Every structure is written in C-alpha cells, then in structure tokens.
C-alpha cells in the first residue's frame, strides 16, 4: 500500500518536473518572444511618429529669440520657411504649435475641436481673473460650459443686443456732439482715443446701466482695462519656464506679482461696489412690486449685472465668477471695437475713393434731413458691412488668438500633437494668406460684395480663411455686440462728417507701424480734422 503511494508521488513529481521543463523551455521563450515583438512594435511606432517641423533653437530658451517684437509677423515668416500650416516651436520649455493656414485652423477648431478646447494654465491670469474663471480664460470643463451658456443665452443674444439700441444711439450722439464742437472750432481730434472711450462707455452701460458715469467709474474701468491688458500681454516667466518660475519665482516675478495683486484689488473693489448697487436696487424694486409698485418694467431694461444676479443660482456661479465674466466683457469688448473703428478710418483715409463710396452709400440709405444714422437704417448698407469685414481681415485686433491647449495626443495631417501642447492660431497670417486671398495685402472691401472673390465668406466660424473671432467651442461669443457697436459708429462718422488729415500731411504720411500686445494697435495716434457735412449738422 505504501509502495503504491510512493509510486503515485513519484509519478506526480515526474509530471510536475515535465511541466516545469515545458514552462522553462517552451512557454518562457514564447513569452520572451512576444515581449520582444511588443517592444519592437513600440519602437517601430515611435520611429514612424512624425512631429510638425520646427526651426532649430538655442539651448534653454529654444526659439524665443526668433519671435521678435511683432510675433504675428515673425511667426508667419517662420512658418513659410519651416512649417507651412503647422509648425512646432519650443518657447522656453513649453512646446507651442503654431497654426498658420486655413486647413490647419479647420483641423484644430473643428475636426479636433474637442481635443483643443482648453486653455493653458497661467498663474498671472489666475491671480487677475479670479482663478481664470472667465469665459475667455477658463479651462475646458463644466464651469466653462455653464459660464458660456449663461453669456450666450442671457447676455449676448441677438435679441439682447438689439435691446440696447437706444443706449448705443445715445452714446453715439454724445460722440457726434463732441466732434461737431471740434469741427465748429476747427480743432483736430484724436480719433483713436475717442473711439476707445466710446467703446468702453458702451460696455460700461451694458454692464452697469445708465449710472455708469457716476463717480467717474467709466474712466476707472478704462484705466483698469489698460493695466490688465499690459500685464497679460507682458513677458511672464511662468508662461515659458513653468518649473523655473515655481522654484525661484520670488526672484523673477515679485515686481509683476505686486502689480497683479494691486490691479486685481482695484478691479475687485470696483466690481463689488457695482454688484452691491445692483443688489440694493433689486431689493428696492422687489419691495415696490410687493406694495403694488411697478418694479423693473421689462427684462430688456436689465443690464448684464442684473441678469447675472438673477440667474446665478440656476447656473451655479459664484460672486467671483460674476466679477470674472464682467472683466471678460471689458477686455473683449473695448479694445476690439475701438481698434476696428480706428483701423477702418485709417484705411479709408489712405483710400479716399473708398471713403467717398462708403459715404455715398450711408447718405443715400439714411432718410434725407435725418440728424443721425439710426440702427434701422443699417440694413441696406452692404458696402458698410464689406468695409468692416475687410478691416477685420487686414487688421484682426487679436492677431494671435487666445491660446488653446491640447488635452490628449492627436494626429493632424500625419503629425502627432502631444497632450499638453500650447496651440497658437495666427489669425493675422491666415487672413493674409495669398493662397486664400487675391491681393491679400491690399484693402479691397469689394471682395466681399456680390460678384467679388470673397462673396459669401463670413467670420462666424465656418470659413477658416477668415477667423478674426476664432471658431468652434472657444469662438468669441461677443460678435453680435461688437458688430452692433462698430456698424452704428462707423456709419455716423461717415454720414455726419467729411474727414481730412492735419494741415501739411498727406495720406502717404500715415504711419502704419504697429505695437504688439494682447491686441495690436498703431504706434502713432490718428489725428484727424472733422468737417460738418451739410446744413443738417449745424448745432
């Protein structure tokens, strides 16, 4: 019995030994072979991965010195030499994908829009704009979706923009009155400064209501707007060397941090005062309704602050979120509208025959004897719209759109774009691409008219050769508001006045040198002499 048991044990040991030998000599080599094949396949895939072309750079700083004082121009020139539509730069330690063609822009802002819908992190913007919680700078996520939905549903709809037409008319009237006074005295005017103040006042009125001039708030908004633009557009160490800024940030950013803190505190104090004013008025209005009073007559009379206070719980936004969105309105609305108006005037002065053509249309479409152009007169002014389009094409106020951020690896035209890459869309280069635009460097509004080479092309996110407002998820939501401001002001400048340059200055003397920042503006002031047109303009 014992012998049979031992024999069974020996047989089991023999079987186990055979299995071990089989594992050692067959299975293990097979596993090693599979592992080697997997490694070889990975190596092959890595070898076949292509990254966008990149110009050679320097150690540590990469391609920073190749960007220059006019990045939109230098990046266009670099792309022409090295990358075409897609080019990869290393600015400090940060990889930047530069997009310079309509095809590449379509890939980023439509085909792979879900991948590139976020924003790069910025310590400076976080400190200024309440943790980057505005619509423009917020990273992609639920907060951004809710904030954008609020803005597009309640603040910047066509209906809401139209509701402000009387306010716009009143603000235009104030500008025209100042220009008439200057014309009567024969004095020159700084049209750029005047347009900036006008655009700022329009935004102030939309945000604060008719009390926006109280205590000089409109001027304070203008000052804070300028301070914020300078800070965001400046050289910030963490944007190019995130690790260095985190480790020795106090050595490099102390001065900037102090300025950011001071600017943020000024913004916060002003916005808090405005919100409290609105809360007091809302409580007073509620009490009035409870006692049988009329309260707020209709929704259209509510300004942006009123609207956000009324829906903040529905959208889950905090008080700081409201302030961030209001800051967004000022940053996006003031500079964009005023710069388009100034550049339109510059191009019309450089092309007097085009100004005469626009003036003829505006004066023909406005009822005879009418003191000013009204918004209902604008519908038939097709050349006016063409002039605005051509101005936006040749002089997009934000030539490099606010950067995007890739949230995952992505393939575009055979190139691999790695997750975490900052994406810079050169709208200026795209809008001047000679492959898309005939005589791309010339100011030709007729191209947008019926029968023109660009007839039917618009800037609403469907034509990627024309992207001054971006496209896709991160497209600027304020297009309707901005265009309403621009169109009514430009129409009245053309209707009410004839324009000349200062004595002794010819159109060829107009200096088109630009200064780059968050937006691009002309280096020299635009000084003009307004002359009243017709007897209807006599005060």
The beta strand positions in 30-105, using DSSP E, are 86-91, 94-99
pLDDT computed for residue 48 by the predictor: 63
Spatial separation of the C-alpha atoms in residues 82 and 450, rounded to whole Å:
37
Can you tell me the mean pLDDT for 272-278? 93
Kindly state the percentage of the chain with pLDDT values over 90.
Answer: 70
Considering the entire predicted model, what is its pTM? Answer: 0.87
Mean per-residue pLDDT for 27-52?
Answer: 55
Q: Express each pLDDT in 219-228 by its tens digit.
A: 898 899 989 9
pLDDT bucket at 276, cuts 50 / 70 / 90:
very high
- The set of residues, in sequence order, having a beta carbon less than 8 Å from that of 52 and lying 6+ positions away, is 83, 86, 87, 88, 97, 415, 417
β pairing state of 415-417 and 422-425: unpaired
CA pair distance 330, 204, nearest whole angstrom? 8
Is the pLDDT confidence value at 172 over 70?
Answer: yes
Note whether 432 and 440 are within 8 A (CB): yes
Long-range contacts from 103-107, C-beta under 8 angstroms, 24+ separation:
103/413, 103/464, 104/412, 104/413, 105/425, 105/430, 105/464, 105/467, 105/471, 106/464, 107/412, 107/413
Q: Tokens representing 189?
A: 């005017």
Confidence label for 288 from pLDDT (cuts 50, 70 and 90)? low
Q: For residue 285, give the nearest of 308, 302, 269, 264 by alpha carbon.
A: 302
pLDDT(483) > 60: yes
Q: How confident is the model at residue 22 (pLDDT cuts 50, 70, 90)?
A: very low
Instruction: Report pLDDT for 243.
Output: 76
What average pLDDT does the segment 276-290 reach? 75
149 contacts: CB under 8 Å, gap ≥ 6: 315
**Paired tokens of 79:** 């792309």
Least confident segment among 26-40, 88-102, 312-326, 452-466: 26-40
pLDDT at res. 252: 55
Q: Residue 3: pLDDT band by 50, 70, 90 thresholds?
A: very low
Q: Does 208 show up as a binding residue in the annotation?
A: no
The closest alpha carbon to 383, from 366, 359, 350, belongs to: 359
Q: How many CA atoms lie within 13 A of 500 on its CB side?
A: 11
pLDDT tops 50 at residue 45: no
User: Average pLDDT of 430-455?
Assistant: 96
């Amino acid at each position: 019995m014992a012998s049979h048991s031992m024999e069974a044990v020996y047989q089991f040991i023999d079987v186990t030994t055979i299995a071990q030998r089989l594992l050692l000599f067959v299975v293990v080599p097979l596993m090693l072979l599979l592992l080697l094949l997997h490694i070889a396949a990975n190596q092959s895939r890595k070898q076949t991965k292509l990254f966008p072309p990149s110009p050679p750079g320097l150690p540590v700083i990469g391609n920073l010195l190749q960007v220059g004082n006019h990045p939109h121009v230098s990046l266009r020139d670099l792309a022409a030499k090295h990358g075409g539509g897609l080019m990869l730069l290393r600015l400090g330690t940060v990889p930047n994908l530069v997009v310079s063609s309509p095809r590449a822009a379509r890939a980023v802002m439509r085909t792979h829009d879900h991948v590139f819908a976020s924003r790069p992190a910025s310590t400076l913007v976080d400190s200024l704009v309440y943790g980057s919680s505005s619509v423009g700078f917020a990273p992609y996520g639920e907060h951004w979706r809710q904030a954008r939905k609020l803005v597009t549903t309640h603040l910047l709809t066509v209906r809401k923009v139209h509701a402000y037409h009387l306010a716009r008319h009143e603000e235009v009237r104030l500008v025209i009155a100042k220009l008439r006074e200057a014309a009567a005295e024969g004095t020159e005017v700084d049209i750029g400064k005047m347009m900036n103040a006008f655009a700022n006042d329009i935004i102030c009125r939309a945000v604060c209501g008719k009390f926006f001039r109280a205590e000089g708030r409109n001027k304070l908004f203008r000052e804070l707007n300028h301070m914020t633009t300078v800070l965001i557009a400046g050289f910030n160490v963490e944007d190019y060397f995130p690790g260095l800024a985190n480790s020795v940030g106090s050595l490099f950013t102390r001065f900037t941090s102090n300025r950011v803190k001071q600017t943020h505190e000024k913004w916060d104090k002003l916005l808090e005062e405005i919100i409290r004013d609105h809360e007091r008025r809302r409580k007073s209005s509620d009490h009035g309704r409870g006692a049988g009073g009329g309260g707020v007559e209709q929704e259209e009379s509510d300004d942006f602050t009123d609207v956000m206070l009324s829906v903040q719980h529905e959208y889950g936004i905090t008080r700081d979120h409201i302030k961030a969105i209001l800051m967004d309105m000022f940053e996006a609305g003031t500079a964009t509208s005023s710069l388009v108006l100034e550049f339109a005037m510059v191009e019309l002065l450089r092309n007097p025959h085009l100004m005469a053509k626009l003036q003829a249309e505006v004066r023909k479409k406005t009822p005879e004897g009418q003191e000013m152009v009204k918004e209902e007169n604008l519908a038939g002014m097709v050349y006016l719209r063409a002039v605005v389009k051509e101005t936006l094409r040749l002089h997009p106020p934000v030539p490099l759109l606010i950067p995007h951020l890739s949230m995952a690896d992505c393939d575009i035209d055979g190139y691999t774009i790695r997750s975490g890459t900052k994406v810079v869309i050169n709208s200026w280069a795209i809008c001047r691409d000679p492959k898309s635009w005939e005589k791309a460097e010339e100011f030709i509004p007729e191209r947008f008219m019926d029968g023109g080479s660009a007839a039917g092309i618009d800037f609403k996110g469907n034509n990627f050769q024309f992207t001054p407002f971006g496209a896709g998820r991160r497209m600027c939501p304020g297009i309707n508001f901005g265009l309403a401001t621009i169109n009514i002001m430009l129409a009245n400048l053309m209707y009410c006045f004839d324009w000349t340059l200062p004595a002794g200055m010819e159109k060829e003397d107009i200096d088109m040198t630009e200064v780059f920042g968050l937006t691009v503006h002309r280096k020299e002031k635009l000084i003009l002499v307004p002359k009243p047109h017709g007897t209807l303009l006599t005060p």
